[in-house]
Amino acid sequence: MAILEVNNICKRFQDNEVLKGISFSLEEGQVLSIIGSSGSGKTTLLRCITGLETADSGSICVGGRMTFDSERREKLSKAEKRENQLCTGLVFQSFNLFPQYTVLRNVTLAKELLVKETCRAEKCDKKEKKARLAAIEDEAKRVIESVGLSDKLASYPCELSGGQQQRVAIARALMLSPKVLCFDEPTSALDPEITGEVLAVIRKLAEEGRTMLIVTHEMGFAREVSNEVIFMHDGVIGEQGSPEELFDRPQSTRLKEFLSAALHA
């Protein structure tokens, strides 16, 4: 069974129909890239999948868990909502790190809050709590090391370059081990010279078998890292297939035009 199933998602803002029935699925350990021109609804789709936006109709299933279903009538409890939220992770175009915290704290904060809550619920003693928090810190250090920022643990976001900030953001998302990790143009806010370091981290994650959904304008990267590519146009999936199929043998004129524009940009 697919780890992510998106069924017939529609979303409109007032009378602007942004998503007009999007369906696709993603297998565990695969990387799916979404390309498409500006305004085609890529960001909106990611936001619906990650729960930042509520779709008007359709359903989303992550790891067998219905995280969104427009047919659902009963109200979700807070715990269920959070459980749904934690199924997916999102890396923003603009990083959105917490400026007042160090790199380490940015990465540990959310998990720490979670663990503190479970400790309270389970009424575990101080020693147990301390051990769990220490484990989080160790884990965070490992994750930060994996994005190559071990020497920046105590730095604040304002002291880092854009590329470094984005790598912290990736570590922060990884820390909660989402079943599907989504990226919304992770390198668009970066200078061309430093996109490489972020792409290298994502490439490594792909090799480790992370399930990822990547919206990107980097055609070369999409081609190299993805198992499958979706071309979105005007709120629908224009074409879908392997990178070779889409990039070497585009069928529609729209995709051909888009690719040649991207090539000459």
Partner 1 sequence: MFWTVTQSLLKGFGTTVEIFGLTLLLALPLGLLLSFGSMSRFRVLKWLVKTFIWIIRGTPLMLQLIIIYYGPGLVGTWAQGLEQSNFLVDWLASWSVFDRFVAVIVAFVINYSCYFSEIYRGGIESISRGQYEAGQVLGMTRTQVFFKVVLLQVVKRIVPPMSNEIITLVKDTSLARIIAVYEIIWAGQSFIKSAGLLWPLFYTGVFYLAFNGLLTVLFGRIEKKLNYFRG
Ligand X SMILES: Nc1ncnc2c1ncn2[C@@H]1O[C@H](COP(=O)(O)OP(=O)(O)OP(=O)(O)O)[C@@H](O)[C@H]1O
Q: What is the CA radius of gyration of the chain?
A: 19
Q: Select from 93, 108, 251 the least CA-distant residue to 186.
A: 93
Closer by beta carbon to partner 1, 170 or else 229: 170
Q: How far is the CB of 173 from partner 1 (least distance, A)?
A: 8
Whole-angstrom Cα distance, residue 39 to residue 44? 9
Q: How far is the CB of 259 from ligand X (least distance, A)?
A: 15
Whole-angstrom Cα distance, residue 159 to residue 168? 12
Contact map string, positions 183 to 202, toward partner 1, x by CB under 8 A: --------------------
* 38 touching ligand X, by CB under 6 A: yes
* 50 touching ligand X, by CB under 6 A: no
Phi, psi of 155 (to 5 degrees): -80, 155
Q: Please, what's the b/e burial string for 210-236 (b: 16 or more CB within 10 A of its CB; e: otherwise)?
A: bbbbbbbbbbebbbebbebbbbbbebe
* 100 touching partner 1, by CB under 8 A: yes
Question: Which of 43, 50, 67, 226 touches Mg ion (CB under 5 A)?
Answer: 43
Q: How far is the CB of 178 from partner 1 (least distance, A)?
A: 9
* 187 touching Mg ion, by CB under 5 A: no
Structure tokens at 33: 């890239």
* 108 touching Mg ion, by CB under 5 A: no
Question: Which of 3, 22, 32, 41 touches ligand X (CB under 6 A)?
Answer: 41
* 15 touching ligand X, by CB under 6 A: no
Q: Do 120 and 103 meet the contact criterion of CB atoms below 8 Å apart?
A: no
Residues 6+ apart with CB under 8 A from 219: 35, 247, 259, 262, 263
* 85 touching partner 1, by CB under 8 A: yes
* 18 touching ligand X, by CB under 6 A: yes
Site residues for partner 1 per CB under 8 A: 50-52, 78, 82, 85-86, 88-90, 92, 94, 96-100, 109-110, 113-114, 156-158, 172-173, 176
